[in-house]
Structure 1
Amino acid sequence: MRARRLTRTLTCIAALSLAAAGCGLSGGSDGGDSTAGGCKVDQGNVGSGKLSGDVKGTITFQTTNLKKDFGDYFNGVISAFEKAHSGTKVKWIDDPGDATFTQRLVADAQGCTLPDVVNINVNTAVALTKNGYLLDLDKKAPDAGKPFVPNLWKSSLYADASGTKVHSVLPWYSGGIVQTFNTELMKEAGLDPAAPATTVLGLFDDAEKVAKASDGKYYAFLANPQLRIPADWQQMGIKVLSEDGKSFTFADDPKTAQWVEAMTKLYKAGGMPRDSLSATQDPANVYGQGKLVYGPTNPNFLRFIQQNNPTVYKKTGVAPYMLDALGHTVGAPQYIGVASTSKNAATALAFAQFLTNAENQLAWAKDPNVVIFPSTTASLDDPFFQSVKGDDPFAEARKIVASDRKTATADEIALTPGELNAISAQIQLAMQGKKSAEDALKEAQSKANELIKQGS
């Protein structure tokens, strides 16, 4: 997991440009052959009607970079499933999860060799759903959403080939989001660690006080806007994309200009390191050196600080994330999808639901080597999350996130690398005083919209 919020996952898989000609779905649920994403499949996998069939046979299950650290857990889940369903066999493979992951998986799908059950992120879910490679759970498993936190399930929707939003994935684990800060530096700057900011612009107000008090000895946070967009904008209630996702709209909201002006003012005041405007520094490392007031927002970062900078860890405070105008947090979880091209779809679906059930999710969340939060209501209601002992930063974070997961949604707006770079470049010009906030945003939106049209 990354040291900042999971909202950094990159989306809008137009870059992959799956051929629309091979994306049709047809067929009913009465056996025989049909097509899904250009692949020949059993009619029961597509069209109307609940999925039926015996839970038997062999399926392939693919995770993303999990085997090295969690082999015992997953082998245990697989063994339990095979024991409960005589005649089944689950072959587990683990993808390294590098930058070409989505492209490789889409290529597998186009070749009609997509794993039966697959661990995917939001980008891949968008691409595979759009092109018909995942089961439509609303039709094939209409009760699939019952175990999951209602807000999370309702928002885990992706558009199919017709543009209709469907449930094509089961929510799995997420990293959560909190505010973290160096309490000593906050006090030195005249801020109260017990009363952290509750809005994004309120955070910038506090950051200005840091700039005035620090005299360059420490900073509020790093300057690169890529670290804050579009997360800040979403929390502020800014509409980043049009409803159909085909154009950007962030420049049309005056609040976005207020945000750019706040970034610019703070940068000029010395509240951010000058050399961090376009740098790719890891804020976790800089925070661990005692040079930042505000740390990354993923609870996993706290484990990193605890292990590598115990002195700073003891000074670290934790608070709920700024809900701002949105009223809740966002952040896409990891998902489990079932291939519509599966030869044993009933078995694949049964295993996917078994893997993501409350009992198995809770068991993994209790592993001391991982910092994750489950997606099922029953898991989050367990005393492990509700009766957390201790008042150290990590214990506080677990309490906060367990509550936060009950209201969080998966309505994350994620950006492709090209879109993020194009938008950030214009904001950086504004922060350097080379453009007004309005002009920078207008140009950023224009360039980002060009990229959408180009499919990049």
Structure 2
Amino acid sequence: MHAKRLTRTLTCIAVLSLAATGCGLSGGSDSGDATAGGCKVDKGNVGSGKLTGDVKGTITFQTTNLKKDFGGFFNGVIADFQKAHPGTKVKWIDDPGDNTFTSRTVADAQACTMADVINVNAPTATALTKAGYLLDIGTKDPAASKPFVPSFWKTATFANASGKAIHTTLPWYTGGVLLTYNKDLLQKAGVDPAKPPTSIFGLFADYEKVAKAADGKYFATMANPIWRIPADFDQMGIKVLSADGKSAVFGDDPRTTQWVAWMAKLYKEGAMPKDSLSSSNDPSTLYSQGKVAYGSTNPSFVRFVKQNSPSVYDKTAVGQQPYDALGRASAGAPQYISVAATSKNAPTALSFAEFLTNAENQTAWCKDPDVVIFPTTTDSLNDPFFQNVTGSDPFSQARKLVADQLKTADTNQTNLSPAVQNAIVSQVQLAMQGKKSPADAVKDAQEKANELLKQGS
């Protein structure tokens, strides 16, 4: 779940045409009641068969914390859609975003009040798909995959209640994954900023050097393992779940215990702030204060630093996130756009969702000078903007590095429900506090994860 590594402005969680691209919806409504989750819905929203119906009427569209910085852009997109489809109206809701996003969204879905079109991250999509609250876009519009890079379209599948992988999301944008660091602090620790490590354990060794040099005056990174699980495991090639997704297998790999042992050692040696073990805060604030050597692995993090701490921005550089066992860069998990299966106006909602994520709109938003994000459509990635990056400042270098990565990047990720992820994280936290051995923590984490998977959590 590289999505966990995104900074709060764009993470906690996230929209976009100049020319309309309809999704081929026509004909009369397939009336009659059915259910999605526990909600009564039009039977055309569920089951097999292409979605039909007129693109008209009112829908709600939910983003997270975007109105302040990108209100003008998204209002323009909405206006373009409404102009292309007379008789439609899109009401934009902007969620403030916090670590309860998934639980609140699931609660909205259970109350049958979830927005018609909603930006979701992988954990939220996992939970909503399993509960049956998202439209099966792959079935309802078989042509929906055409604009997207195949590897990104592949990531847009999530398991339903029976364990079948279905396309309940449209891949929207990705932040990419890289190292962001304070050159001055690394040099003080004897770490060469120009030679990033090639493995996760190599990165941990650099964290240890920072801890020894800092002697409590600053830190290497944040402690809460929620930012790293299962992202680090994916990067290391540690298999987290069985092929059918019904059982946890990460504990079968000895490197998992080594990883937990490293985390415990680093925490004990002061590489991480003690009070950050259970904190949901990402590195943004402390990095901007010059108190953490490594920032977020999301390229858009450099925008936050530039805006909030110019002096630290001047000391900031970006480098390649360790390839590790993947052997190539990771693009991280993209952000997604979903349509509620509970929508009372699903044809319009699906049309708008595809309009948001088309190549023209993705390219337009990614060109915004105040953001470093990357598209998931083939045509967008072929745009000269992403292929001919210039500039030597951290912002430009972040854009160039990830643009180069995306040509060959791996988009594999493990999708864990929040309950399963939290069960694993809590055991690692106990090991980091010295309350359990790394081996026992891994063993117990796998057992607890399996219990939850059997319960369908």
State the TM-score, normalized to the length of structure 1.
0.83
User: What are the superposed Cα offsets for residues 351-385 of structure 1, whole Å, 9 maximum, x if unpaired?
Assistant: 11111111112222223344433222222322322
Residue 167 of structure 1: how far off its partner (Å): 0.6
Residue 166 of structure 1: how far off its partner (Å): 0.8
**Which residue does the alignment assign to 1:254?**
254
Q: Which range moves more in the overlay, 108-117 or 244-253?
A: 108-117
Between the aligned partners of 1:46 and 1:215, the Cα distance in structure 2 is 59
Q: How does 1:97-136 map to 2 (within 5 A)?
A: 97-136=97-136
**Which residue does the alignment assign to 2:35?**
36
**Which residue does the alignment assign to 2:141?**
141
Residues 90 and 279 of structure 1: is their aligned pair in 2 closer, same or farther, counting only changes over 3 Å? closer
Residues 340 and 290 of structure 1: is their aligned pair in 2 closer, same or farther, counting only changes over 3 Å? closer
RMSD: 3.2
2:413 to 411, 414, 420: 411
Q: How does 1:136-175 map to 2 (within 5 A)?
A: 136-175=136-175
Q: How does 1:180-219 map to 2 (within 5 A)?
A: 180-219=180-219
Q: Max radius of gyration: which structure?
A: 1
Residues 86 and 372 of structure 1: is their aligned pair in 2 closer, same or farther, counting only changes over 3 Å? same
Q: Which runs of 4+ in 1 moved over 6 A?
A: 7-10
**Which residue does the alignment assign to 1:297?**
297
Q: Which range moves more in the overlay, 190-199 or 89-98?
A: 89-98
**Structure 2, unaligned stretches of length 5 or more?**
13-27
**Which residue does the alignment assign to 1:14?**
none
CA contact (8 A) 1:288 1:305 kept: yes
Q: How does 1:10-29 map to 2 (within 5 A)?
A: none
Residue 111 of structure 1: how far off its partner (Å): 4.7
**Structure 1, unaligned stretches of length 5 or more?**
11-28
Residue 261 of structure 1: how far off its partner (Å): 2.4
Residue 396 of structure 1: how far off its partner (Å): 0.7
Letter in 2 for 1:123: P
Residue 390 of structure 1: how far off its partner (Å): 1.1
Residue 135 of structure 1: how far off its partner (Å): 2.4
CA contact (8 A) 2:123 2:417 kept: no
**Which residue does the alignment assign to 2:315?**
315
Residue 153 of structure 1: how far off its partner (Å): 0.6
Residues 211 and 369 of structure 1: is their aligned pair in 2 closer, same or farther, counting only changes over 3 Å? closer
Q: How does 1:240-389 map to 2 (within 5 A)?
A: 240-273=240-273, 276-277=276-277, 282-326=282-326, 327-329=328-330, 331-389=332-390
Aligned residues: 436
Between the aligned partners of 2:7 and 2:439, the Cα distance in structure 1 is 25
**Which residue does the alignment assign to 1:438?**
439
CA contact (8 A) 1:6 1:332 kept: no
CA contact (8 A) 2:176 2:299 kept: yes
Residue 165 of structure 1: how far off its partner (Å): 0.7
Letter in 1 for 2:176: G
Between the aligned partners of 1:346 and 1:369, the Cα distance in structure 2 is 33
Q: SS at the partner of 1:173?
A: strand
CA contact (8 A) 2:7 2:301 kept: no
Residue 83 of structure 1: how far off its partner (Å): 1.7
Equivalent pairs: percent with the same residue? 64
Between the aligned partners of 2:415 and 2:344, the Cα distance in structure 1 is 34
CA contact (8 A) 1:176 1:401 kept: yes
Residues 281 and 108 of structure 1: is their aligned pair in 2 closer, same or farther, counting only changes over 3 Å? closer
CA contact (8 A) 1:331 1:412 kept: no
Letter in 2 for 1:360: N
**Which residue does the alignment assign to 2:395?**
394
**Which residue does the alignment assign to 2:15?**
none
Q: SS at the partner of 1:70?
A: helix
CA contact (8 A) 1:223 1:272 kept: yes
Residues 385 and 216 of structure 1: is their aligned pair in 2 closer, same or farther, counting only changes over 3 Å? same
Between the aligned partners of 1:137 and 1:280, the Cα distance in structure 2 is 32
Residue 40 of structure 1: how far off its partner (Å): 4.4
State the TM-score, normalized to the length of structure 2.
0.83
Between the aligned partners of 2:258 and 2:81, the Cα distance in structure 1 is 53
**Which residue does the alignment assign to 1:92?**
92
CA contact (8 A) 2:3 2:335 kept: no
Between the aligned partners of 1:242 and 1:197, the Cα distance in structure 2 is 29
Q: Which range moves more in the overlay, 146-155 or 212-221?
A: 212-221
Q: SS at the partner of 2:187?
A: helix
